[in-house]
Structure 1
Amino acid sequence: MTHLIERLRTLSFALLLLSLAACGNGDSPDPQEANREAGTPQELVEGSPSISVSVTPVVRRQLQAWVYSQGTARSRQREFLTFTQQGMVAHVDPQLRVGSPVKAGQVIAYQAPERVRAELQAARAAQAEAEANLALAKVTQRRYETLIAQRSASQQELDEARVRVEQAVAARDSARAQVAQAQVGVDESRLVSPIDGVLARLNIEKGRYFMPSTVQTNTEQSALRTVPALVIDPHRFEVSVDLPAYEFRRIRSGARAVIGGSAPVGGDDADPLALRDGIAGQVYAISPSIDPDTRTFQVLVHTEGSNPGLQDGEFVAVWIAEPALENALAVPAEAIRYRADQAFVFVVDPASGRVSERRLELGQQADNYRAVIEGVEEGERVVTDGRAALHDGQRVRVLQTAGGAR
């Protein structure tokens, strides 16, 4: 029995020696190779999981920024028509209504014309009499000049004839002025369109008594409600906008502008060139003076073309182009992150497959891009999607580059 136990001990010791020898030789399998054969991801083998990201290269492009505001569109030619004297409205063109086209010289309405026409006729008669007296005075003067040459009249008589001519000229001129004054009275008793345009307001009716004191001009709104008629040019409009003082150096006279039919929500972020109802315009004038109460300055924008499709008094959105940046280094706005007001991006190193955090000095923003003054180089790839889970030195897997496949 004892002999059997000794043999088992000897056998166990031998097996132990064989096992140690096997562990020490160079034919043992590589653990990493075993993991690859088992399908284990390399990033897990190395202990640093990769983050899937999308990237875009840093490129140079033209950046066009816009200053956004809102303003009121008004026709560039607005004619407020009114009577200067009180009286009954005797006639209103029955073919006209608000929105009707009118021609220059077309009579819209007139007051009872008998009195002013009688005054005009009397003035014209007085003018005719003055013209006749002048003609007679000139004939008399020439006659005396002939008599003087024949020594048949005195110099005093000739001088008196000359004075009468001068008096007749003065009387003639006075009569002409009276005719002009009477004509003004006739004109002011009528509402006549001075331009080709559209009747925008008609606040009178036939048979109603009009008094000039009813026209209120203290505000535009009051004038529009009380003026007898308003004619506008529907083809040329002007938009007045008030911009903050800090925008003054970003605006240039003659700059391109886009006028929207309505003021959209988030107009600062909108692309005016993508608007379907955008109306082309141009900066016409820039006020050099700042309103002391609002700290704003006025900019006038004129529409281009002959049919802008705006309404007089319409509230509209306006985008004014800033001077464009040519060949500017730019990154997508979606790639930029901020920490303590410091902008930065994650740049992918293609050799190591890791990202590095780069601080940026930013310039002008245009559409979805931001100009970069310092921080990245042209051709480097910045992370646009997946950046929220990144940190400096993080290993990444690039899924998409600038909209294309990896």
Structure 2
Amino acid sequence: MRISGKTIIIFMLVLSLIGIGCSREKIQDRKQRKNPASEIEAISVEAEYPTIRSMAENLEVSGNLEPLAQAEVYAKQSGLVKAVYVKEGDRVKEGERLAKIEDDEIQLSFRQAKSSYELMRDKYQRYQELFKEKMVSEQEFKEIERSYQDARSNYELYQLRLKNTELTSPIPGMVVERLCEPHQLLSAMEKAFKIAQLDQFKVMVSVTEAALVKLKPGQEVAIRIDALDGETIAYPHQGTIYNISPQVDPNTGTSRLEVRIPSPPPGAQPGMFVRMKIITAYKPEVLAISKRSLVREEPAEVWVIKNGQVELRRIETGLADEGFIEVFSGLAKEELVVTAGQEALSDKSRVKVVNGDESQLTPERAKPENPELELNSEAEKK
């Protein structure tokens, strides 16, 4: 088979083109090997500089409102309820009548006992004079004296039973429970009412022994009552630590704490759920970073940007609040820290800051408005 000259020329041209293409690929490959970073796209991240700010450490606890003073009223005398004078929600004074138990039989017995007592009293007084004049024997006088004392005791007993047919309030306050109705049979020592003073409240909570050493009576407490304060994140009410139990429960490692609320808001009622914050530590000026910067908390690590690349840095941390954490060491305020986009990073990754040009981000001094911190700051100064 003969191959024409034209065919040979075409074949040679194809080989030349293939050779040129391969050479270009090799040159491009060598360029990429010399400068691989130029072809790696920078990862978009958000970043911030550390700030100088006030920091407070809060102990968060919760509990339920309890009246500062309350009393349960029990029937001291059994019988049918003749009348009930109050309903739940009524305010009562100390000593005010709450209910009456039927006393017809007791009234009759009382009158008989009173009559017998008065007769024996008069007789005893006569015998006292006769005994002084030695007109009766000592034995006769002693018998009359015993009869008189028995009559007086019986009279006082029915006087007390008659008094006990009236149920009265032992303290001023509000009727929060009414457990009896007219014509109902009450047994002796059966609970009939509960009275509570609602002008002041207390909350009993348990705290760990570690937190216990940071607390003391008189310390201020910020309070939020969910039912009254709705969705707000603020703690608009104030209370104080009144008492701390002197012992720790060995089974739970906790101690009881009493917080008092001297001026509860309108509508506060026993049993309402309460959230509380107690400032246990405060520093007016510390270096802090956003908690979003943390890659992990124990040990604390963050991504730091240097010359467009990141390095993983271990830091020592201190106080923490809802959004920030104090930095003891491992980071300077002039160093830029990644706050978002950490998931895609590895050591020496190239990054692009998308929440502002890195050259435009500058360290700033942050003093967030926080009423709790300001209040505590004033207390620290005093």
Q: Give the TM-score normalised by structure 1.
A: 0.62
TM-aligned CA deviation for residue 316 of structure 1: 3.6
Work out whether 1:58 is the aligned partner of 2:47: no
Work out whether 1:321 is the aligned partner of 2:321: no
TM-aligned CA deviation for residue 179 of structure 1: 8.8
The equivalent of 1:88 in structure 2 is 80
TM-aligned CA deviation for residue 282 of structure 1: 2.1
- State the percentage of identical aligned residues: 24
The equivalent of 2:181 in structure 1 is 205
TM-aligned CA deviation for residue 278 of structure 1: 5.3
The equivalent of 1:104 in structure 2 is 94
Q: Deviations over 1:304-345 (max 9, x none)?
A: 414353332334433333232332221111001128x42111
Q: Out of 386, 391, 403, which is 2:346 matched to?
A: 391
Count the aligned residue pairs.
315
CA–CA separation in structure 1 for the residues paired with 2:286 and 2:115: 79
Contact 1:235 1:308 in 2 (8 A): no
The equivalent of 2:301 in structure 1 is 344
The equivalent of 1:253 in structure 2 is 217
The equivalent of 1:243 in structure 2 is 207
Work out whether 1:76 is the aligned partner of 2:68: yes
SS of the equivalent of 1:358 reads strand
Structure 2 unaligned segments of length 5 or more: list them.
1-34, 127-131, 134-149, 362-382
Alignment of 1:116-265 (within 5 A): 184-215=160-191, 228-262=192-226
Indicate the structure (1 or 2) with the bigger Cα radius of gyration: 1
CA–CA separation in structure 1 for the residues paired with 2:79 and 2:305: 84
The equivalent of 2:10 in structure 1 is none
Alignment of 1:277-316 (within 5 A): 279-307=237-265, 309-316=267-274
The equivalent of 1:6 in structure 2 is none
CA–CA separation in structure 1 for the residues paired with 2:36 and 2:159: 100
Q: Out of 229, 233, 237, which is 1:275 matched to?
A: 233
TM-aligned CA deviation for residue 124 of structure 1: 8.5
Q: Give the TM-score normalised by structure 2.
A: 0.66
SS of the equivalent of 1:53 reads strand
Task: Describe the shift of the 1:401–1:207 C-alpha distance in structure 2 as closer, same or farther (beyond 3 A).
Answer: same
CA–CA separation in structure 2 for the residues paired with 1:192 and 1:343: 64
Give the aligned residue type for 1:367.
Answer: E
SS of the equivalent of 2:217 reads coil
The equivalent of 2:313 in structure 1 is 358
Give the aligned residue type for 1:105.
Answer: G
Task: Describe the shift of the 1:59–1:45 C-alpha distance in structure 2 as closer, same or farther (beyond 3 A).
Answer: closer
Moved more, 315-324 or 179-188: 179-188
TM-aligned CA deviation for residue 348 of structure 1: 2.8
CA–CA separation in structure 1 for the residues paired with 2:53 and 2:157: 67
Task: Describe the shift of the 1:117–1:62 C-alpha distance in structure 2 as closer, same or farther (beyond 3 A).
Answer: farther
